[in-house]
A and B are shown apart, each in its own frame.
Chain A
Amino acid sequence: MSTTAPARTGVADPPGPPKPRRSKRRTSAEGSSFRSALPWISPALVLILVIVVFPAGYMIYNSTRKISQIGTDLGSVGLANFSQVFSDPNIPRIMLNSVLWVVVVVFFTVLISLGLAQFLSKPFPGRTLVRMAVIVPWAASVVMTTTLFYYSMDPNYGIFNKFLTDTGLLDSSYGFTQHASSALMVAMAVAVFVSIPFTTYTILAGIQAIPGDTLEAAKVDGAGRWRTYFLVVLPQLRGALAVSVLINIINVFNNLPILKVMTGSIPGYDADTLMTYIFKVLQFDRQIDIASALSVVNFGIVVVIVAIYVWAVKPMKEV
């Protein structure tokens, strides 16, 4: 399945192998020490440890401290920041929003992408152009796409609102971005829109890797179109689906720009997810300690989701 087929060079396996070569192969194939790998992997290792692992630990540490608004550490407070987070009256609503946000966006993204990928795998004139059109939201910056939708949804000068009233779908234009629940719904639609390209392409890659003879066999057995899809195609897309669902869950859960643009100017916390709430606490209230505690909760949720997912679906068999 890899694109490295031309690698079959003329070096046939055993052209009367001289002994020294064999022993050489041994040493390189058998486990060498960690030190010999260091020159090759240490740049990656250092970057990950300093920029990913250390801040994670540092954040957990900060969540147990009392920190002033200008960043001065005023000593340990144990788990007081966490009890403050969990007694926060906004938290239940925010948690509910976060769950809805992830579930709705990922569900519709995958559902639409499955159909779209299936369609784009069928041959027809102009298919390449359609595939390229589908890529565009991926290439376009999420902030820019969201900004466009925010403008189009404006009740006064928004083009989309005008279109809806012109075509009679709406009696009068509606302030989609001015109410928490409708703004959240529009944000979800935008999130699905920008998540579809990557998901569709991953599934498309999966579809193209399905051996044609399994489909032939299903046809010969007289299986209908839907039966073939659910019994033959879908099971073989397991790998592609697993990876794309996992990456979508992570991306959507941590998405900030869409909600910040769409719901950022709505007062209160009714349209906030955990992610946008953390940024409000950090940017407006400058409470680094509370924001750290919230981030640790957020981090914990992501780790749990990933762990459950990896355990249940096992997206990576080897490595």
Chain B
Amino acid sequence: MALLTTEDHASRRVVVGRMTVGLIVAAIFLIPYAVMFIGSLKTRSEILSVPPDYLPRDGAQWSNYLTMWDTPETPVAYNLISTVVIAVAATLLVLLVAMPAAYYSARFKYRGKMAFMFLVIVTQMLQPAILTVGLFKEMLVFNLYDTWLAMILINAAFNLAFAVWIMHTFFAGVPKEVDEAAQLDGAGKLRVLFTVNLPLVWPGIVTALIFTFVACWNEFAASLVILSTAENQPLSVALTRFVGQYSTAWQYVFGVSIVAILPVIILFMLIEKRLIGGLAAGATK
């Protein structure tokens, strides 16, 4: 059967075995999110009923996806906007700042390069969580406490290292002759970077972009102490406010989660193949 033939010419039994294991693996990783989705379609009384039902008894409550934006626990719509604004702005900032640094460091020797790259690697080891107390006091002093800008800067700074590191690896892989040919044609360094190098290193940029975006999307510790107004907080912080309530509106928590998770999953799926290439360059060098 052509369907069951593989590159390594495994026997049919082996291939069917792999497919079975694959099915189980997929189920393990997807079931929690299926539970989340089904939960988002239950009524409030149903989701708190003892014992619970696996499926919505009263039919799927698609209306939850309309009513969830208005709950007493937290202004969900604002939280979603905050999450998007902070994550997108921080990701753009990272790319804007990391790209020239990575390009220049990969291409040219300069005094202090070792020190700079060492600094980058050290920041890679740090996370906002370790420094929250320092960041908290710093933002108070700078008058940035409880602002989006503070979180954009924090997210960008702590994700910069990975972006510089991985882009450096990719830029270093572009032969110098390519640059020199363009320079002969009279292109300046900036033009060489944008018109000649970028098209060649874009898998690296995609990897850096997705890592940064997901890290910003998930950031929790710093947002928890820097953002105090409910409207300013991202979903990661806002959703924890539901937990531990007397009767948690779980169906809303799950509905909001599904809405927030879906775009990122699609983003990941689009670049699944590139991801392995990017990680291979970044991690196995």
Contacts and interface: CB of A to CB of B under 8 A. Distances in A.
Nearest to A173: B51
A144 B260 contact: yes
A291 interface: yes
A37 B200 CA distance: 23
A304 B203 CA distance: 34
A148 B254 contact: yes
For chain B, the bracket of interface size reads 35 or more
Majority-rule SS of A interface residues: helix
Contact of A257 (B25, B168, B240, B261): B240
Contact of A123 (B6, B96, B98, B280): B6
Majority-rule SS of B interface residues: helix
Interface string B240-252: 1011100010100
Interface in A66-118: 71, 116
Given A132-B269, A261-B240, A25 B133 contact: no
A62 B32 contact: no
Given A7-B174, A58-B137, A59-B133, A136 B33 contact: yes
A9 B235 CA distance: 47
B60 interface: no
A179 B39 CA distance: 25
A279 B224 contact: yes
B108 A54 contact: no
Contact of A264 (B52, B134, B244): B244
For chain A, the bracket of interface size reads 35 or more
Nearest to B96: A43
Interface in B17-32: 18-19, 21-23, 25-26, 29-30, 32
Contacts of B21: 119
A208 B119 contact: no
A250 interface: yes
Contacts of A31: 109-111
- Nearest 5 A-B pairs (CB), nearest first? A55-B134, A59-B134, A51-B157, A40-B104, A133-B26
Interface of A: 1-4, 6-9, 11, 13, 21, 24-25, 28-34, 36-37, 39-41, 43-45, 47-48, 50-59, 62, 71, 116, 119, 122-145, 147-152, 156-159, 162, 173, 193, 201-202, 204-206, 208-209, 239-240, 243-244, 246, 250-251, 254-257, 260-261, 264-265, 275, 278-279, 282-283, 288, 291-292, 295, 298-299, 302-303, 306, 316-319
